[in-house]
Amino acid sequence: MKRLLGRVIATAGLLAFSASAMAEDWTPPGPIKLLIAFAAGGGADTQARMIAAELEAAKGWKIIPEQATGKGGLNAVKALNAAPKDGTTIAMIVTESLGYNMRAANAGGPDAATPITTTAGSQMAVVALTSKGYKTLGDVIEAAKGGEEIRFGAMSPALGDLAYVIGKENGVDFNIVQVKGGKAVMNGLNAGDLDVGFGAGIQAKAVAAGEMVELASAKSGSLPGTPDAPLLTEYGVEFTNDTMFLIAGPGGMDPAAREGIAAAIAEVLNTEGSEAAGFIKKGFGGVDLRAGDELAAFIQEGYDQAGGLLDASAE
Amino acid sequence: MLRSLSSSHILGLVCILATVLALAVWIPLDIETGLIEKVRRQTSIGDSLLPTLACGFVLLGGLFLFLPGKDSGEALTGVNLRYLILLLVILAVAFAAMRWLGPVLVWAFTEEGVYRNLRDTAPWKYVGYITGGTILVSGLLAMVEGKVTVRGIVIGLIATLALILVYDLPFDDLLLPPNGDV
């Protein structure tokens, strides 16, 4: 029995070692096209390009970044699926692309793309300028109930729906303004065109400087910059936005390529002194790597939950 | 019937037929969203608005050309048709060379065999662009001059190399045609 157990453990160890060695050994057969589902020059685009540059330096791979914006990442997913599945075409999207956006557009299931690895989470919060005088989301709701028109900036349809549900659950009607990107929300707040808006982490510097305040966490957990900020559940909202930046490949991608790319990205982002990791820490709260079954389950959960938000915001 | 129509009428007719085809077949089949989309309280421009507007303008131009009583211009001649066919043949040959010469040569002369994997590797990445670009420029020059000359070929080659110098060499992440789409 002892001998059998020993063999089982040895075999399991060997299998684990082979899988890890396979990921280490994988090299792309040619240049990798990196589709970026975000506007050029923004935080997400910069993050993707910095990771690409560090992968090139560390692994000797050739990576060619290319913008593929539109439809909340679904255009990038569509382009992915017209490409070979051998790891030579990947995309930087968000988990929301395979969840809410996929479901809202009725464009298929989350298996339309192969999730490779996340790179970072978001610090999704409801944000306002400190000068507005709001301390929490409750103050904004009270102001709306008092007849004040609240212009609420959202940078994705899912966040627009979330803002709508916040209003609905609290008996107020926000003027929800859909803008392109988190930077546009910040610009809108600073220019006085918006009263409150969502920030995915871009607000961190302004919050630290006391220029902005995080009125509520739109995540399922607390915010590192404002740990005392209330959660949306305190306002009767059962939905959150835990979207993460995601590197994905075409649906049905070669598993060796998937593991090889995930391992390489983990290697560069875990390297001491990585500029990409430093940028991610400043802009998005820090590197957050999830891959394999854990990532697949996270994406499936997001897709399943999206149905609830869609239903709640359609009422 | 074509003989009784002027070249302007025929051009107008081609525009009308092409836009009707685009409006009735291409746009409905290929573009998912309508002219204006109202999704989840947000009203936005649909993907088909811009091509539909463009088709509308071309259709309008076609109707103006085709309207009876307008200045009909000269009738379509064999010279007109030859010019048009020659132009289309030069364009087709140039673009076919640009797209397929690299893949064919890689398949025939390398162990790798897959052009996509060498699309950023010299000399393969330049083969199609240089050949197709040279055929395009020198072919159009030859068409205008009425003869193929060494001077025209050299100008075509230099023009293509100049474009490589401007668009390829300074940029690490830019791919020349057709390499971004293979």
Q: What is the 3-state secondary structure (H, E, C) of B31-89?
A: CCCCCEEEECCEEEECCCHHHHHHHHHHHHHHHHHHCCCCCCCCECCHHHHHHHHHHHH
pLDDT of A20-37, one tens digit each?
Answer: 555 668 999 999 999 999
Output the six-digit token pair for A188: 């809108």
With contact defined as beta carbons under 8 Å apart, do A153 and A200 qualify? no
Burial class (CB in 10 A: 0-12, 13-18, 19+), A265: buried
A161 contacts chain B (CB < 8 A): yes
A29 contacts chain B (CB < 8 A): yes
Residue A210's pLDDT is what?
A: 96
A65 contacts chain B (CB < 8 A): yes
Residue B77's pLDDT is what?
A: 84
* Contact call for B116 and A88, based on CB within 8 A: yes
Round to whole Å and give the CA distance between A162 and A160. Answer: 5
Q: Which residues contact A288 (CB under 8 A, 6 or more apart)?
A: A118, A119, A120, A121, A244
Distance from CA of B12 to the nearest CA of A (A): 36
The angle formed by the CA atoms of residues A53, A59 and A60, to the nearest 5 degrees, is 75
**Ramachandran angles phi, psi of A246, nearest 5°:** -135, 135
Task: Please indicate whether residue A266 or residue B68 has the higher confidence score (pLDDT).
Answer: A266
B120 contacts chain A (CB < 8 A): yes
Output the six-digit token pair for A49: 């390009």
Output the six-digit token pair for A18: 């082979």
Of B109, B170, B164, B85, nearest in space to B131 by CA: B164
Distance from CA of A8 to the nearest CA of B (A): 41
Please list every residue in chain A whose beta carbon sits closer than 8 Å to the beta carbon of residue B173.
64-65
In the predicted structure, residue B92 carries a pLDDT above the cut 60: yes
Burial class (CB in 10 A: 0-12, 13-18, 19+), B108: exposed
Round to whole Å and give the CA distance between B84 and B5. Answer: 17
Of A96, A71, A93, A63, nearest in space to A80 by CA: A93
For tokens 């298929």, name the residue: A108
Distance from CA of B45 to the nearest CA of A (A): 12
Task: Please indicate whether residue A151 or residue B46 has the higher confidence score (pLDDT).
Answer: A151
Residue A284's pLDDT is what?
A: 84
* Contact call for A29 and B180, based on CB within 8 A: no
A157 contacts chain B (CB < 8 A): yes
Task: Please indicate whether residue A307 or residue B96 has the higher confidence score (pLDDT).
Answer: B96
Please list every residue in chain A whose beta carbon sits closer than 8 Å to the beta carbon of residue B117.
29-31, 88
Confidence category of residue B1, pLDDT binned at 50, 70, 90: low
Peptide bond into B170 cis (omega under 30): no
Mean pLDDT computed over every residue of chain B: 91
In the predicted structure, residue B119 carries a pLDDT above the cut 70: yes
**Per-residue pLDDT tens digits of chain A, which is 315 residues long:** 445 545 555 554 444 444 455 566 899 999 999 999 988 888 889 999 999 999 999 999 999 999 999 888 999 999 999 999 999 999 999 999 999 999 988 888 899 999 999 999 988 999 999 999 999 999 999 999 999 999 999 988 899 999 999 999 999 999 999 888 888 999 999 999 999 999 988 898 899 999 999 999 999 999 988 999 999 999 999 999 999 999 999 999 999 999 999 999 999 999 999 999 999 988 888 899 999 999 999 999 999 889 899 999 887
In the predicted structure, residue B172 carries a pLDDT above the cut 90: no
Confidence category of residue B67, pLDDT binned at 50, 70, 90: confident
Burial class (CB in 10 A: 0-12, 13-18, 19+), A32: buried
Residue of B38, B40, B45 to mutate, interface with A, max A Cβ within 10 Å: B40
Round to whole Å and give the CA distance between A70 and A85. Answer: 22
* Contact call for B117 and A62, based on CB within 8 A: no
Mark out the alpha helices in B71-170 (DSSP H runs): 78-109, 124-145, 150-167
Residue B40's pLDDT is what?
A: 63
Distance from CA of A30 to the nearest CA of B (A): 4
CA-only gyration radius of chain B, Å: 22
Can you say how many angstroms the Cα of residue B26 is from the centroid of all Cα atoms in its chain? Answer: 17
Task: Please indicate whether residue A157 or residue B41 has the higher confidence score (pLDDT).
Answer: A157
Q: Whats the size of chain A, residue-wise?
A: 315
The model carries a pTM of 0.82
Q: Whats the size of chain B, residue-wise?
A: 182
Q: Give the Å distances, CA to CA, from B10 to A15, A37, A135, B55, B77.
A: 71, 44, 70, 18, 12
Can you say how many angstroms the Cα of residue B15 is from the centroid of all Cα atoms in its chain? Answer: 16
